[in-house]
């Protein structure tokens, strides 16, 4: 099953060294190589690889150099490995936000970064928005799930207050899709609303804390520089996260108990209603235009027919950058996601020395993932090869190599035949598939596979499962320490207790998934009666569930 065996044989025959132990080792992913790539990309010299910075550009040049060394080719009509993504950095002017709520009792001012969290406008430099406020439940319109928070609610020209996330009753992957803030902005705009005010329920707070939003949202942000597109589709002028105190007083002013609404939302959809209040936002923004490249390399397929089908493996090259830490100010992003890029590079190296798979494989180091999947979104909107030639999109995001995992959480696996390929790959490294332990977090919409999924392409987003160490015991302390103290922090660096033998095993699994997809007799197909396929690929050919 494992294509690595086939490749190993080919490699050995080419060099005339069949049976050599050295050869068998050469045919494997190298933990040392993953370590070396991770160390370079997460070095302080690259200053966090934030999209639009010199550090990011150096990281991009590094990946492009590796692609060249492996003999990869530019994609489609591209003449080099770069797809330049035009971006706009938006910042608030000092004291550039004034926000107030007016009720019959008077006007209350709320401070950005303390009571509310809002970033600069992507569209205009100076604006004053005034609107009545309407509560609209989850702010979700999902006809396939018979859920419409906007039914019977007039929100034209209004500011809608909505709960972040989506009902627990939604199937996991669709819950992720409908939780995605850009999806909610689209639904609100289509309903005629002009601003979005979001609430964090206690459940949501667990994995998307207010404190993080409070610190991060007022910081400079990035988006596409594409005013024509913005002009052509309905957009929300402003999205504002409400702090817990502010939200409480807003609802109390309407005689409503917000805790009751949070509680109800776990069982039945909370009904929308008009709040006896209006909001006013005055905002002054600064725009700076720049560009940051996606790095794309293709290993052409060997089969004359199947080489026109592409397997995409995507991994984000930028790192999260937040407020300047003290004393460590650089967000190195070693685990998230220098390590993911490193694993992808090892897959590229191994596949290329084996001469490639039957299908073409497109290696995609994405720009500005941490800014809202901007690079992957741009690729799907401006694909260098026709989208219908892409048969699968596989993400590698994070290098959770803290203990010798026995399980793999392969998001997306239960929706298409990619799951069977992933299961075979997992078995090849003595691992099994395990269910998503935190479906409420909506991880399927939180990495670079998501724009491909929205385009109807079968996707896979695998990660090692926490706990269940193969070595016995329950060695999860380092894992938990990473999640709680180092994720998206300056301390995500090479000082973490990463195990490169585990990284090697993870890379070997990724290799087996990509090679398995590239060489499978049939392209990946969605399963019959699958709820994701029903939304994103209603006309696609289906396969029977195993």
Helix axes 339-353 and 31-41, enclosed angle (nearest 10) = 130
Q: How far is the CB of 446 from Zn ion (least distance, A)?
A: 8
Q: How far is the CB of 484 from Zn ion (least distance, A)?
A: 16
Q: How far is the CB of 150 from Zn ion (least distance, A)?
A: 32
Site string for Zn ion, 275-294 (x = CB under 5 A): --------------------
Nearer to Zn ion, 336 or 530 (CB): 336
Site string for Zn ion, 3-42 (x = CB under 5 A): ----------------------------------------
Rounded CA-CA distance 379/387 in Å is 10
Structure tokens that stand for 376 in this block = 């992957």
SS3 percent helix, strand, coil of the chain, rounded to 5, is: 35, 25, 40
Q: How far is the CB of 198 from Zn ion (least distance, A)?
A: 22
Contact 448, 397 (CB under 8 A): yes
Q: How far is the CB of 4 from Zn ion (least distance, A)?
A: 26
14 CB-near residues (< 8 Å, 6+ apart)? none
Nearer to Zn ion, 110 or 461 (CB): 461
Within 170-310, residue ranges assigned H as helices are: 172-179, 181-190, 202-205, 210-216, 227-232, 244-252, 258-265
Contact 85, 224 (CB under 8 A): yes
Nearer to Zn ion, 123 or 363 (CB): 363
Nearest to 374 by CA among 226, 486, 174, 179: 226
Q: How far is the CB of 463 from Zn ion (least distance, A)?
A: 10
CA distances to 172, 221, 417, 419 from 543, rounded to whole Å, are: 21, 42, 7, 12
Nearer to Zn ion, 68 or 438 (CB): 438
Nearer to Zn ion, 3 or 492 (CB): 492
Q: Please give the radius of gyration of the chain, using alpha carbons only, rounded to the nearest integer.
A: 24
Rounded CA-CA distance 87/109 in Å is 33
9 CB-near residues (< 8 Å, 6+ apart)? 18
CA distances to 279, 297, 400, 476, 507 from 467, rounded to whole Å, are: 47, 35, 11, 5, 19
Which helix (H) or strand (E) segment is 3 a member of? helix 3-15
Q: Please report, as residue ranges, which positions from 204 to 233 form the binding site for Zn ion (by CB under 5 A).
A: none
Q: How far is the CB of 276 from Zn ion (least distance, A)?
A: 42
Nearer to Zn ion, 48 or 167 (CB): 48
CB neighbourhood size of 540 (10 A):
14
Q: How far is the CB of 180 from Zn ion (least distance, A)?
A: 16
Q: How far is the CB of 405 from Zn ion (least distance, A)?
A: 18
Q: How far is the CB of 318 from Zn ion (least distance, A)?
A: 9
Q: Please report, as residue ranges, which positions from 377 to 416 form the binding site for Zn ion (by CB under 5 A).
A: 397
Q: How far is the CB of 397 from Zn ion (least distance, A)?
A: 4
Nearer to Zn ion, 187 or 496 (CB): 496
Rounded CA-CA distance 234/230 in Å is 7
Q: How far is the CB of 488 from Zn ion (least distance, A)?
A: 9
- Site size with Zn ion, rule: CB under 5 A: 3
Nearer to Zn ion, 314 or 515 (CB): 314
Nearest to 413 by CA among 395, 428, 399: 395
Nearer to Zn ion, 315 or 417 (CB): 315
Nearer to Zn ion, 87 or 399 (CB): 399
Nearer to Zn ion, 336 or 493 (CB): 336
Q: How far is the CB of 46 from Zn ion (least distance, A)?
A: 16
Contact 426, 433 (CB under 8 A): yes
CA distances to 56, 339, 404 from 35, rounded to whole Å, are: 19, 8, 16
Contact 292, 375 (CB under 8 A): yes
Nearer to Zn ion, 38 or 352 (CB): 38
Nearer to Zn ion, 163 or 335 (CB): 335
Nearest to 196 by CA among 133, 245, 254, 127: 133
What is the three-class DSSP state of 129? strand
Q: Please report, as residue ranges, which positions from 320 to 349 form the binding site for Zn ion (by CB under 5 A).
A: 336-337
- Of the CA atoms within 13 Å of residue 117, those in its CB half-sphere come to 20
Residues near Zn ion, by CB under 5 A: 336-337, 397
């Amino acid at each position: 099953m494992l294509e690595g065996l086939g490749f190993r044989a080919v490699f050995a025959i080419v060099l005339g060294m069949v049976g050599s132990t050295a050869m068998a080792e050469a045919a494997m992913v190298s933990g040392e190589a993953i370590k070396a790539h991770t160390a370079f990309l997460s070095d302080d010299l690259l200053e966090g690889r934030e999209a639009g910075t010199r550090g990011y550009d150096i990281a991009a040049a590094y990946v492009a150099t590796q692609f060249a060394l492996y003999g990869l080719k530019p994609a489609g009509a591209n003449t080099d490995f770069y797809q330049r993504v035009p971006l706009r950095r938006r910042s608030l002017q000092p004291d550039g936000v004034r926000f107030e709520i007016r009720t019959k009792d008077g006007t209350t001012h709320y401070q950005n970064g303390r009571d509310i969290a809002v970033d600069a406008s992507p569209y205009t430099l100076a604006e004053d928005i005034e609107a009545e406020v309407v509560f609209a439940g989850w702010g979700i319109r999902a006809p396939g799930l018979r859920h419409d928070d906007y039914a019977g609610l007039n929100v034209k020209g209004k500011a809608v207050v909505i709960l972040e996330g989506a009902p627990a009753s939604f199937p996991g992957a669709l819950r992720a899709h409908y939780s995605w803030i850009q999806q909610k902005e689209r639904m609100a705009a289509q309903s005629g609303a002009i601003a979005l005010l979001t609430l964090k329920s206690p459940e949501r707070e667990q994995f998307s804390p207010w404190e993080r939003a409070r610190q991060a949202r007022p910081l400079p942000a990035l988006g596409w520089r594409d005013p024509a597109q913005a002009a052509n589709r309905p957009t929300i002028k402003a999205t504002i996260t409400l702090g817990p105190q502010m939200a409480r007083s807003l609802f109390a002013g309407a005689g409503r108990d917000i805790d009751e609404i949070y509680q109800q939302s776990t069982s039945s959809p909370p009904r929308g209603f008009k709040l006896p209040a209006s909001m006013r936002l005055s905002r002054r923004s600064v725009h700076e235009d720049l560009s940051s490249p996606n790095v794309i390399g293709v290993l052409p397929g060997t089969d004359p027919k199947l080489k026109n089908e592409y397997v995409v493996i995507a991994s984000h090259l930028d790192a999260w950058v937040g407020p300047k830490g003290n004393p460590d100010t650089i967000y190195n992003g070693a685990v998230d996601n220098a390590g993911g890029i490193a694993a992808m590079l090892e897959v590229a190296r191994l596949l290329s020395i084996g001469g490639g798979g039957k299908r073409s494989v497109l290696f995609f180091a994405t720009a500005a993932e941490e800014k809202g999947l901007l690079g992957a979104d741009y690729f799907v909107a401006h694909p260098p090869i026709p989208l219908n030639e892409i048969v699968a999109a596989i993400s590698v995001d994070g290098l959770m190599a803290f203990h010798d995992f026995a399980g793999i959480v392969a998001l997306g696996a239960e929706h298409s035949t990619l799951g069977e390929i992933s299961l075979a790959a997992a078995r090849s490294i003595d691992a099994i598939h395990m269910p998503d332990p935190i479906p409420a977090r909506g991880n399927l919409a939180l990495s670079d596979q998501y724009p491909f999924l929205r385009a109807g392409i079968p996707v896979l987003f695998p990660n090692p499962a926490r706990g269940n160490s193969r070595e016995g015991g329950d060695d999860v302390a380092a894992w938990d320490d990473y999640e709680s103290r180092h994720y998206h922090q300056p301390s995500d660096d090479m000082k973490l207790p990463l195990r490169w033998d585990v990284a090697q095993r993870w890379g070997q699994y990724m290799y087996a998934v990509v090679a398995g997809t590239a060489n499978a007799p049939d392209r990946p197909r969605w399963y019959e009666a699958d709820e994701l396929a029903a939304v994103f690929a209603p006309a696609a050919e289906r396969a029977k569930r195993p």
